[in-house]
C-alpha cells in the first residue's frame, strides 16, 4: 500500500462545453505531491481540455479548482504560473533564432540578466541531468534537446505541479525513457506533482504511479499503476470495440506477434518480378539556409505494398513529403513513378504522374482553407466546361463534390461550406476523397492520423489499407512508431535525411528499431554483424 | 577615368560633401532606427513615411505656436506616434494587411498635412547650429559630425540606447520573439500583439523626430515634398542592413551620401546625371537585395499578422 | 450587389466571392454587418466634415461644390468619366494581384513608364492614325508590363518581396522618365520654339488620339468602353475560368497550389506583369484620351492615378464590378476638387476624404473576419 501524499491540485466537478460539445463533464482529478499521475485517453477524450483548464487556457463552465488546498480561479497561464503550475507543451514553444537561455526566461517578468539566467539554466540542467549549453541557439538543437529546453523552461519557475502533454511524440524510445527518468527525479527529489497526459498505454504503464482514464469527457476509471495491466486499460479507455489493428495506434501499444517474429526472415524486398511503382534513389536536398534535408535517400515501393518510414520528427520527414508533393527540388537523385522519371520540384508534376499525397501540413499543402469543400475536392483537375476556353464547369464540380462527400462520409453543411469550418477529421476525409478518387499509382501519407479520434484513425487506416489492396503503392511517413508498425508491411528507418535501415514488419526488432531511429545504430549493427 | 577619379577625390576632400551627406543620413537614421525595431517585431511599417511627414508638419506648427524648438520636436513626436497608432491597431488588432494600411495612412497624412498647411501656413524658427567645442575642429569630418543643428545630436545617444533596449532588455527579447515566432512567444505568455504595437510606436516616435529634425533643422517651413520618400528609403536601409542595427545604420549612411553627391557634385563643378544619382539609392537597394537575398535571414514572421488560435 | 458584399465580408481579402461561404450564417448577421459598415462610413464623413469645419470652412458648401465639379455642372460628369477610366484600369490590375496573393504597390511607376513608352512611339512613329494609335496603346501595355515584370523577375528569381521592389521601382521610374524628358532623342519635344518649355514631350498628332464621344454636352474618350469591358472580363475570368480559379488558389494556399500544378513563377509572375500591363494601358489611355496633359507627357504626368487606383481596388474589396463604382467616386472627388477653390477650402481635402473612406471600408471586413474565424476555429478544434 502506497502512503497517500497530500494533494497538490484538486479539480472538482469540472465541466467544460464548447458550443454543443461537452469536452469535460463533471470531472474530478487529484494530483498528489511526489507522484506521476497518468491521464490516459484517446484523442478527443477531454484530457487536453482538462489540462487547459488547469493551466488557465480554458475557463471551466462549472466546477472548482483547489491548489494546495486553496480554492483558486485560474483565468490565464500567467495566473497558473504564479500558482506554481508549469506546462511542457506538446508542440514546441521555442523561438528558434534565440539562445537556450533567452528561450528559458521568455515570458517572465523579472529584469533581464543574462548571467543569472545562464547560471540558472546550468543549475537546473545539472540537477536533473538535462545536459545543455545555455548559449546554443535553438535552431541548432535536435528535437530531443529542444524538449530539454522546454522542460528546463518549465522547471525554472520551480512549479509545484508539472503538466506534460503527449511529451514523447517527438522522441526516440531511448529518449522517452530518459525523459521518464528525469520525471522520476523531479518527483522524488522535489516532491512535485506531475501530470502526464498521454494516449499511449505503454508509457503510462511504465512511467506513472497512478492513472486516471478518460473517455468522451468523463472519468471512467481511477487506479494505481501497480494494479493495472494493458488489456484492462485498453478496455476502459476505448469502451467500445474497434478493430484490433487501429487499436495499436490509438493506444500506442505495440503487440508483437511472436509467431511471426523470425529474425531476418520474410525478406519480401528481394521478391523478384514485380517492378517498384515508386523508386527514390540517391535523393539529396538542402534547405535555403544550407541545412541538409535529405542525404542520398533511397527507397522503393511496389504496387500493393505499404512501406512505413519510421523515424524521429525532424529527420527529413517533411522534406520527403515535400519532394513527393513537388514542393522541393532535389539537388541530386531521382524519383521514378511507374517506370518514368519525374522531375522534382516542378509544380504539379508528381500529382500528374499519379502520386496522391496526404500531407502532414494539411492546412498548407493539403487544402486551401479559404476555399469551399467542392473547390478543395477539385484542386488538381477542376472540371472543364464543354464550352472550352478553360471555363469552369461549376455544376459538374458541385455534383462531383456531392458524390465524393457521400462516398467518404464528409460531414459539412454542403459542398459550398468553407474548408476551415470543417473539423480536422472531416478535412482529412476531404483530402482522402480527392487524392484517392484520382486513381493514383502511389499514395504518400504523412502523419495521416495525427490529431484524429479513434473513429477517424480507424477510418483513415482502413482507407490506406484498402488503397494498397487495390494495387496502390503506399508510402507511410510517420513519427508514431505504433502507426508504422500497425499499418506497414515493410519498415525503413529515416535518420538525418537518409534511410539507415530496413526490416519487415513480421520480423521487427523494437530494440534495434529504436537504436536505428536515434542514429546510434550504424555502430551497433556493425557490431552485431561481427559477432 | 582619370577625370572621374579626380572628381571622387574632390568630393572626398570637400567638407560640404560630408556635411550634407551626414545631414541626409541622420534624417534617414532617425526613421530607420524605429523601423528596425518594428521589423524585428514583425511589421513592415510603411506608414513611417506618413509618420515622418506628420512629424515635420507638427513640428512647424509647434514652432509657430511657441517659437520653441523643443516644443516643435515634442509636437513632432506626438504626431508621429498618433499616425502609427492607426497602423498598429489596424494591423495588429484587426489584421488588416499592413502594407495596405500603411499606404492608406500615408495618403491620409499627405492630404491632411498639405490641406492644413495651406489653410494655416505656419512658419517656425530654425534650430541653431551647435558646434561641439573641440570636436568640431577635427579635420574634414568634424563639422559634419559636430557642427550641425542641435536636434541632430539627439540621434547619437539614441542608437546605442535602441541597441541596448532590443538586445539587453526583456522588452527587446519579447519583441524579437514576437517577430520570429509569435505562436511560441504567445504560449510563453508574451503578449505578442502588444509588443508588436509598441514596436510600431517606437517607429512612430523616431520617425516623428526625424521629420521634426528635417523641418526644424533645415527648412523652417512645411513643403509637401519635404519628406519625399525618405521614409521608404529608411525601410530600404533596414532591408539593406539585413535586420541588424549596424547594417541598417550603414545603409542610412550610404543612401545619405548618395543623396548628398547629387547636390555636392554640381556644386564643385561636375556635370552629373542627377536623375541617375536620385535613382541610385533605390537601384542600389534592389541590387543589394538581389545579390544577398539568399543569405539574408529576415525575421521569420515578418509581415504576418498573429491571431491567437490560427495555425 | 449589397448581398454579395455582405457574403464576402468575412472572406479574406484575396479570396473571391465564388468561394461560396456558408450563406446562412452570413444572412443571420447581415444586419449587424450592415451596421458596422454604416458606422464606419459615417465616421469617415464626419471626420472629414470636422477637418473642414475646424479650419473655418463650411462642409455644406464643400459638398455642394464637389457635386458641382464632379457631376452637376455642364460637361463635368464627362470629365469625371475621363478620370475614372485610368483609375478603374489600375484597380483591375491590382485586383488580379491581390487574388494571386501579391501586393503590387508600384502602379504609379508602371503607369508612368507605360505612358512614356506610348509617348515615344506616338511621337516617333508615322503612318495611318488608327494603326499608330493601336501601336501606342500596345507600347503602353508593354511598358507597364516590363516595369512590373522587373519586380516579377526579382520576386521569383531572387526572392525579393514584390511589395518592396514595386515600390522602389516607382522612384526609379520617375527618374528614368525624367531623364527621357530631358533628352530630345527620347521624349523631349524637339521643336525649337518650345525651348523654354523644358521637360515636355511633343504633342500627339491629331489622327493618333482616341476619339471622344459627346453625350448631353459631356465629352469623354471611347476608352471607357474598353475599361468597362475589361472590368467584366476580369470578373468573369476570376469566377468562371480555370485560370482564375488557379490564381486564387495561388493566393490563398500557395503550397497546395504548387502541388496541384499551379506554378507560382508562371501564374504569380504573369499576374504581376499583367497588372503592370493594365497600368501601362491606363497610362496610354491618359495620354491619348485628352483628359490628362493635353496629349503630351509631362513631369508628374501620372498625377497620383496609380496610388489612387490602388485604393479603388481596396475600397471595392477586390471586386471588379464594384471597382467601377469606386473608380467613379474617386474620380468625382478628383474633378470636384477643382471646384473647391471658390469655397476657400484647399482641394487637398479630397485626398483626406479618399483615404478616410478607404480606411472606413477596410475596417469592417477585418472585424468580421477575425471574429468569425476565431469562433469557428474554437468550435472546430474541440470537435476533432
**CA–centroid distance for C362 within its chain:** 16
Q: What is the pLDDT of residue A356?
A: 94
Buried (b) or exposed (e) across B130-161, using 16+ Cβ within 10 A? eeeeeebeeeeebbbbbbbbbbbbbbeebbee
Q: Does A387 touch chain C (CB under 8 A)?
A: no
Query: How high is the ipTM of this complex?
Result: 0.83
| A216 CB neighbour count, 10 Å cutoff | 16
Determine contact, residues A217/A24, Cβ cutoff 8 Å: yes
Residue of A368, A398, A460 to mutate when probing chain C, most C C-beta within 10 A? A368
Report the pLDDT value the prediction gives residue C344, as an integer from 0 to 100.
Answer: 77
Backbone φ and ψ for B91, nearest 5 degrees, come out as: -90, -20
Residue C190's Cβ-side half-sphere holds a number of Cα atoms within 13 Å equal to 7
Question: C253–A21: do the CB atoms touch at under 8 Å?
Answer: no
CB atoms under 10 Å from CB of C159, counted, come to 13
At B148 the pLDDT is 86
**Which residues in C301-310 are b (16+ Cβ under 10 Å) and which e?**
bbbbbbbbbb
Domains and CATH numbers, chain C: 80-366 (1.10.3470)
Q: How many CB pairs under 8 A join A and C?
A: 139
Choose among B114, B235, B310: nearest Cβ to C377.
Answer: B310
> Residue A306 domain-assigned?
yes
Question: Which residues share a beta bridge with A358?
Answer: A445
CATH code of the domain containing A480: 3.40.50.300
By the 8 A CB rule, do B182 and B192 touch? yes
Q: Nearest CB to A453: which of C244, C256, C384?
A: C384
How far away is chain C from the Cα of B233, in angstroms, using its nearest Cα? 8
Tell me whether residue A407 is in a domain: yes
Q: How confident is the model at residue A264 (pLDDT cuts 50, 70, 90)?
A: very low
Per-residue pLDDT of chain B (311 residues; tens, 9 = 90+): 566 677 667 767 777 778 888 888 999 999 999 999 999 999 889 999 999 999 999 999 999 999 899 999 999 999 999 999 999 988 887 777 888 889 889 989 999 999 899 888 888 888 888 888 888 888 777 778 888 889 899 999 999 999 999 999 999 999 999 999 988 888 888 889 999 999 999 999 999 999 999 999 888 889 888 888 889 889 988 988 889 999 999 999 988 888 777 777 766 666 667 788 788 878 887 887 788 766 667 787 887 777 765 43
Whether A502 is in a domain gets the answer yes
Whether residue B287 lies inside any domain: the answer is no
Structural domain contains residue A516: yes
Contact C256, A364 (CB under 8 A): yes
Report the phi/psi class of residue A288: left, alpha or beta, with left for phi > 0 and alpha for psi in -120 to 50: alpha
Chains near C, with 3+ CB pairs < 8 A? A, B
Sorting pLDDT into bands at 50, 70 and 90, what band is A249? Answer: low
Q: Is residue B296 part of a domain?
A: no
Q: With respect to residue B254, please indicate whether it lies within any of the assigned structural domains.
A: no
Q: Per-residue pLDDT tens for A96-140?
A: 889 999 999 888 888 888 899 999 999 998 888 888 999 999 888
Residue A15 confidence (pLDDT) above 50: yes
Mean pLDDT, to the nearest integer, of A504-516? 81
Burial (Cβ within 10 Å: 0-12, 13-18, ≥19) of residue C384? middle
Listed range (A5-19, A251-265, C146-160) with the worst mean pLDDT? A251-265
Q: For chain A, say whether C158 makes contact (Cβ under 8 Å).
A: no
- CB-CB under 8 Å, C350 with B286: no
Q: pTM of the entire structure?
A: 0.82
Please tell me which residue, A362 or A183, carries the higher pLDDT value. Answer: A183
Distance CA C384, CA C382 (A): 6
Is A107–B188 a contact, with Cβ atoms under 8 angstroms apart?
yes
| Å between A72 CA and nearest CA of chain C | 25
Residues of A in contact with B311 (CB under 8 A): 363
Cα gap A129→A135, rounded to integer Å: 17
- The pLDDT, as a whole number, for residue B3 is 67
Residues of B in contact with C349 (CB under 8 A): 111, 115
Question: Looking at residues A273-296, what average pLDDT do you find?
Answer: 86
Query: Residue B148 falls within a domain, yes or no?
Result: yes
Name the stretches of chain C with pLDDT < 50.
1-28, 381-384
CA distance B222 to chain C (A): 15
- What number of other Cβ atoms are within 10 A of residue B287's Cβ? 11
Rounded to a whole number of angstroms, the distance from the CA of B226 to the nearest CA of chain A is 39
Task: Note the pLDDT of residue A247.
Answer: 56
C-alpha cell at A338: 511507374
Residue A2 is assigned to a structural domain of this protein: no
Report the pLDDT value the prediction gives residue A75, as an integer from 0 to 100. 80
| Among the partner residues B183, B189, B294, nearest to A107 by beta-carbon distance | B189
Unique residue bearing C-alpha cell 497558473: A80
Contacts 24+ apart (CB under 8 A), B62-66: B62/B124, B63/B122, B63/B123, B63/B124, B63/B125, B63/B215, B63/B216, B63/B220, B64/B122, B64/B123, B64/B124, B65/B122
Residues of chain C positioned with their CB less than 8 A from the CB of B111:
348-352, 354-355
Number of domains in chain B: 1
Residue B45 to residue B24: CA distance in whole angstroms: 21
- The dihedral of CA A484, A490, A493, A494: what is its sign? negative
For position A515, what pLDDT does the model report? 79
Which residues are registered as beta bridge partners of A215? A218
Contact C352/B97, CB-based, under 8 Å? no
Q: What is the pLDDT of residues A345-360, one digit of tens each?
A: 999 999 999 999 999 8
Least confident range of A24-28, A505-509, C14-18, C374-378: C14-18
**CA gap A92, A96 in Å, rounded:** 10
| Runs of H (alpha helix) within chain B | 2-13, 15-40, 48-66, 69-92, 98-120, 142-146, 155-168, 170-180, 182-187, 192-214, 230-240, 245-267, 274-292
Contact B242, B292 (CB under 8 A): yes
**CB distance B183–A93 less than 8 Å?**
yes
Task: Please list the residues that pair with A299 across neighbouring strands.
Answer: A280
Backbone Cα Rg of chain A: 24
CA-based nearest residue to B154, from B200, B211, B113, B201: B211
Task: Report residue A235 as a C-alpha cell.
Answer: 478496455
Q: A348, C376: Cβ pair inside 8 Å?
A: no
Residues of A in contact with B173 (CB under 8 A): 98, 102, 105-106, 112
How far does C237 lie from chain A, in Å, by closest CA?
8
**CA angle at residue B190 from B189 to B196, to 5 degrees?**
155
Residue numbers of the domain that contains B47? 26-227
Which pLDDT score, from 0 to 100, does residue A263 have? 39
Cα of B300 to nearest chain C Cα, Å: 14
- Decide if A408 contacts A322 (C-beta within 8 A): no
Written as one string, the DSSP assignment of B148-167 is: EEGGGGGHHHHHHHHHHHHH
For A287, the domain range is 274-530
pLDDT of residue C6: 32
Chain C environment of B237 (Cβ under 8 Å):
none
pLDDT in the model for residue B268: 64
Question: To probe the interface with C, which of B251, B276, B280, B289 has the most C CB atoms within 10 Å?
Answer: B289
Q: Between chains, do A106 and B181 touch, taking CB under 8 Å as contact?
A: no
The region, left, alpha or beta by phi > 0 then psi within -120 to 50, assigned to residue B70 is alpha
A17 φ/ψ angles, rounded to the nearest 5 degrees: -110, 145
Which partners does chain B have (≥3 C-beta pairs < 8 Å)? Answer: A, C
| Residue B65 DSSP SS3 | helix
Q: Do C171 and B232 touch (CB under 8 A)?
A: yes
Sort out which chain B residues have CB atoms less than 8 A from C51's CB and list them. Answer: 112, 115
Length of chain C: 384
Quick one: CA dihedral A96, A102, A107, A112, positive or negative? negative
Give the count of domains, chain A.
1
Mutate which: C187, C352, C382, vs B, most B CBs within 10 A: C352
> Chain-wide mean pLDDT for chain A?
83
Is C352 in Cβ contact with B112 (below 8 Å)? Answer: yes
Q: How far apart are the first and last CA of chain A?
A: 46
Q: Which residues of B touch C355 (CB under 8 A)?
A: 104-105, 107-108, 111
Closest-CA distance, A127 to chain C, in angstroms, reads 38
| Measured distance CA(A48)–CA(A23) in Å, rounded | 9
As a three-state string, the secondary structure of A173-228 is HHHHHHHHHHHHHHHHHHCCEEEEEECCHHHHHHHCCEEEEEECCEEEEEEEHHHC
Closest CA to A421 of C24, C318, C101: C24
User: Above pLDDT 70, what percent of chain A?
Assistant: 88
Buried b (16+ CB within 10 A) or exposed e, C198-233: eebbbbbeeebbbeeeeeeebebbebbebbeebbee
Amino acid at each position: 500500500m502506497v502512503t497517500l501524499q497530500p494533494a497538490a491540485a484538486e479539480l472538482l466537478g469540472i465541466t467544460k462545453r464548447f458550443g454543443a460539445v461537452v469536452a469535460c463533464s463533471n470531472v474530478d482529478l487529484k494530483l498528489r505531491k511526489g507522484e506521476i499521475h497518468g491521464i490516459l485517453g484517446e484523442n478527443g477524450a477531454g484530457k487536453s481540455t482538462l489540462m487547459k483548464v488547469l493551466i488557465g487556457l480554458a475557463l471551466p463552465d462549472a466546477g472548482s479548482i483547489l491548489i494546495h488546498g486553496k480554492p483558486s480561479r485560474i483565468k490565464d497561464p500567467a495566473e497558473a504560473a504564479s500558482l506554481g503550475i508549469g506546462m511542457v507543451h506538446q508542440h514546441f514553444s521555442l523561438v528558434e533564432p534565440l539562445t537556450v537561455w533567452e528561450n528559458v526566461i521568455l515570458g517572465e517578468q523579472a529584469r533581464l540578466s543574462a548571467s543569472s539566467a545562464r547560471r540558472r539554466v546550468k543549475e537546473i540542467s545539472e540537477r536533473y541531468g538535462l545536459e545543455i549549453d545555455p548559449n546554443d541557439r535553438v535552431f541548432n538543437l535536435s528535437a530531443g534537446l529542444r524538449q530539454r529546453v522546454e522542460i528546463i523552461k518549465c522547471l525554472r519557475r520551480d512549479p509545484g505541479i508539472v503538466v506534460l502533454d503527449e511529451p514523447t511524440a517527438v522522441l526516440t524510445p531511448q529518449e522517452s525513457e530518459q525523459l521518464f527518468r528525469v520525471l522520476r527525479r523531479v518527483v522524488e527529489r522535489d516532491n512535485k506533482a506531475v501530470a502526464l497526459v498521454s494516449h499511449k498505454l505503454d508509457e503510462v504503464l511504465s512511467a506513472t504511479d497512478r492513472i486516471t482514464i478518460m473517455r468522451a469527457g468523463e472519468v471512467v476509471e481511477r487506479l494505481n499503476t501497480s494494479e493495472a495491466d494493458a488489456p484492462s486499460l485498453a478496455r476502459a479507455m476505448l469502451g467500445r470495440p474497434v478493430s484490433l489493428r487501429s487499436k495499436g495506434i490509438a493506444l500506442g501499444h505495440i503487440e508483437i506477434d511472436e509467431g511471426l517474429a523470425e529474425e531476418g526472415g520474410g525478406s519480401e524486398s528481394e521478391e523478384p518480378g514485380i517492378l517498384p511503382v515508386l523508386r527514390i534513389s540517391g535523393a539529396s536536398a538542402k534547405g535555403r539556409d544550407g541545412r541538409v534535408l535529405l542525404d542520398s535517400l533511397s527507397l522503393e515501393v511496389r504496387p500493393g505494398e505499404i512501406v512505413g518510414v519510421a523515424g524521429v520528427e525532424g529527420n527529413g520527414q517533411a522534406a520527403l513529403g515535400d519532394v513527393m508533393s513537388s514542393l522541393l527540388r532535389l539537388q541530386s537523385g531521382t524519383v521514378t513513378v511507374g517506370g518514368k522519371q519525374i522531375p522534382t520540384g516542378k509544380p504539379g508534376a508528381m500529382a500528374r504522374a499519379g502520386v496522391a499525397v496526404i500531407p502532414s501540413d494539411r492546412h498548407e499543402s493539403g487544402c486551401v482553407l479559404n476555399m469551399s469543400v467542392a473547390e478543395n475536392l477539385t484542386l488538381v483537375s477542376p472540371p472543364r466546361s464543354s464550352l472550352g476556353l478553360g471555363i469552369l464547369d461549376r455544376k459538374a464540380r458541385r455534383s462531383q463534390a456531392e458524390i465524393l462527400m457521400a462516398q467518404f462520409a464528409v460531414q459539412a453543411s454542403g459542398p459550398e461550406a468553407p474548408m476551415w469550418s470543417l473539423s480536422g477529421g472531416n478535412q482529412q476525409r476531404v483530402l482522402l476523397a480527392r487524392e484517392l478518387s484520382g486513381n493514383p499509382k502511389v499514395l504518400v501519407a504523412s502523419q495521416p492520423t495525427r490529431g484524429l479520434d479513434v473513429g477517424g484513425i480507424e477510418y483513415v487506416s482502413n482507407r490506406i489499407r484498402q488503397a494498397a489492396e487495390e494495387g496502390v503503392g503506399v508510402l507511410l511517413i510517420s513519427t508514431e512508431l505504433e502507426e508504422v508498425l500497425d499499418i506497414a508491411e515493410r519498415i525503413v528507418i529515416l535518420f538525418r535525411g537518409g534511410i539507415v535501415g530496413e526490416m519487415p514488419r513480421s520480423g521487427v526488432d523494437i530494440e534495434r528499431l529504436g537504436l536505428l531511429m536515434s542514429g546510434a545504430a550504424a555502430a551497433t549493427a556493425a557490431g552485431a554483424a561481427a559477432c | 577615368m582619370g577625370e572621374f577619379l579626380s572628381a571622387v577625390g574632390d568630393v572626398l576632400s570637400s567638407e560640404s560633401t560630408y556635411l550634407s551627406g551626414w545631414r541626409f543620413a541622420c534624417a534617414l537614421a532617425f526613421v530607420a532606427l524605429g523601423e528596425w525595431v518594428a521589423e524585428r517585431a514583425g511589421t513592415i511599417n510603411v506608414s513611417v513615411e506618413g509618420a515622418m511627414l506628420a512629424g515635420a508638419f507638427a513640428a512647424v506648427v509647434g514652432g509657430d505656436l511657441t517659437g520653441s524648438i523643443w516644443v516643435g520636436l515634442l509636437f513632432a513626436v506626438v504626431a508621429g506616434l498618433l499616425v502609427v497608432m492607426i497602423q498598429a491597431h489596424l494591423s495588429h488588432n484587426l489584421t488588416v494587411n499592413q502594407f495596405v494600411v500603411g499606404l492608406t495612412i500615408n495618403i491620409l497624412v499627405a492630404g491632411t498635412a498639405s490641406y492644413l498647411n495651406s489653410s494655416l501656413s505656419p512658419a517656425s524658427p530654425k534650430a541653431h547650429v551647435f558646434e561641439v567645442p573641440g570636436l568640431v575642429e577635427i579635420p574634414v569630418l568634424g563639422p559634419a559630425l559636430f557642427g550641425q543643428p542641435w536636434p541632430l545630436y539627439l540621434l547619437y545617444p539614441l542608437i546605442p540606447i535602441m541597441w541596448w533596449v532590443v538586445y539587453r532588455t526583456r522588452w527587446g527579447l519579447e519583441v524579437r520573439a514576437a517577430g520570429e515566432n509569435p505562436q511560441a512567444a504567445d504560449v510563453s505568455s508574451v503578449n505578442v500583439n502588444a509588443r508588436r504595437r509598441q514596436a510600431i510606436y517606437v517607429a512612430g516616435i523616431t520617425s516623428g523626430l526625424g521629420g521634426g529634425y528635417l523641418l526644424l533643422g533645415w527648412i523652417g517651413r512645411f513643403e509637401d515634398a519635404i519628406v519625399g520618400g525618405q521614409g521608404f528609403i529608411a525601410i530600404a536601409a533596414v532591408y539593406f542592413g539585413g535586420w541588424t542595427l549596424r547594417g541598417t545604420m550603414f545603409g542610412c549612411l550610404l543612401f545619405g551620401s548618395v543623396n548628398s553627391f547629387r547636390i555636392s557634385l554640381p556644386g564643385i563643378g561636375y556635370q552629373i546625371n542627377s536623375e541617375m544619382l536620385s535613382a541610385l539609392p533605390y537601384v542600389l537597394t534592389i541590387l543589394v537585395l538581389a545579390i544577398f537575398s539568399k543569405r539574408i535571414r529576415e525575421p521569420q514572421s515578418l509581415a504576418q499578422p498573429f491571431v491567437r488560435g490560427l495555425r | 450587389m449589397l448581398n454579395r458584399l455582405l457574403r464576402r465580408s468575412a472572406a479574406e481579402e484575396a479570396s473571391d466571392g465564388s468561394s461560396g461561404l456558408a450563406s446562412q450564417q452570413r444572412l443571420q448577421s447581415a444586419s449587424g454587418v450592415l451596421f458596422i459598415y454604416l458606422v464606419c462610413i459615417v465616421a469617415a464623413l464626419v471626420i472629414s466634415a470636422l477637418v473642414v469645419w475646424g479650419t473655418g470652412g463650411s462642409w455644406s458648401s464643400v459638398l455642394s461644390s464637389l457635386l458641382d465639379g464632379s457631376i452637376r455642372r455642364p460637361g463635368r460628369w464627362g470629365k469625371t468619366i475621363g478620370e475614372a477610366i485610368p483609375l478603374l484600369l489600375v484597380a483591375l490590375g491590382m485586383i488580379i494581384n491581390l487574388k494571386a496573393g501579391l501586393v503590387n504597390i508600384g502602379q504609379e511607376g508602371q503607369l508612368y513608364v507605360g505612358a512614356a513608352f506610348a509617348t515615344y512611339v506616338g511621337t516617333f512613329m508615322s503612318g495611318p492614325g488608327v494603326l499608330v494609335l493601336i501601336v501606342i496603346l500596345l507600347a503602353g501595355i508593354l511598358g507597364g508590363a516590363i516595369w512590373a515584370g522587373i519586380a516579377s523577375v526579382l520576386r521569383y528569381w531572387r526572392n525579393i518581396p514584390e511589395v518592396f521592389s514595386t515600390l522602389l521601382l516607382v522612384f526609379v521610374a520617375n527618374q528614368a522618365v525624367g531623364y527621357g524628358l530631358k533628352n530630345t532623342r527620347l521624349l523631349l519635344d524637339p521643336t525649337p520654339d518650345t525651348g523654354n518649355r523644358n521637360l515636355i514631350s511633343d504633342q500627339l498628332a491629331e489622327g493618333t488620339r482616341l476619339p471622344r464621344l459627346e453625350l448631353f454636352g459631356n465629352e469623354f474618350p471611347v476608352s471607357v468602353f474598353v475599361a468597362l469591358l475589361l472590368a467584366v472580363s476580369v470578373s468573369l475570368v476570376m469566377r468562371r475560368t480555370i485560370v482564375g480559379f488557379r490564381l486564387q488558389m495561388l493566393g490563398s494556399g500557395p503550397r497546395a497550389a504548387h502541388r496541384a500544378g499551379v506554378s507560382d513563377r508562371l501564374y504569380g509572375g504573369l499576374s504581376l506583369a499583367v497588372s503592370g500591363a493594365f497600368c501601362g494601358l491606363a497610362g496610354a489611355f491618359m495620354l491619348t484620351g485628352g483628359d490628362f496633359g493635353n496629349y503630351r507627357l509631362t513631369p508628374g504626368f501620372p498625377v497620383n492615378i496609380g496610388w489612387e487606383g490602388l485604393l479603388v481596388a481596396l475600397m471595392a474589396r477586390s471586386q471588379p464590378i464594384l471597382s467601377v463604382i469606386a473608380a467613379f467616386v474617386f474620380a468625382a472627388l478628383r474633378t470636384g476638387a477643382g471646384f473647391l477653390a471658390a469655397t476657400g477650402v484647399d482641394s487637398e481635402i479630397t485626398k483626406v476624404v479618399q483615404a478616410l473612406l478607404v480606411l472606413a471600408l477596410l475596417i469592417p471586413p477585418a472585424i468580421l473576419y477575425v471574429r468569425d474565424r476565431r469562433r469557428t476555429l474554437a468550435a472546430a478544434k474541440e470537435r476533432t
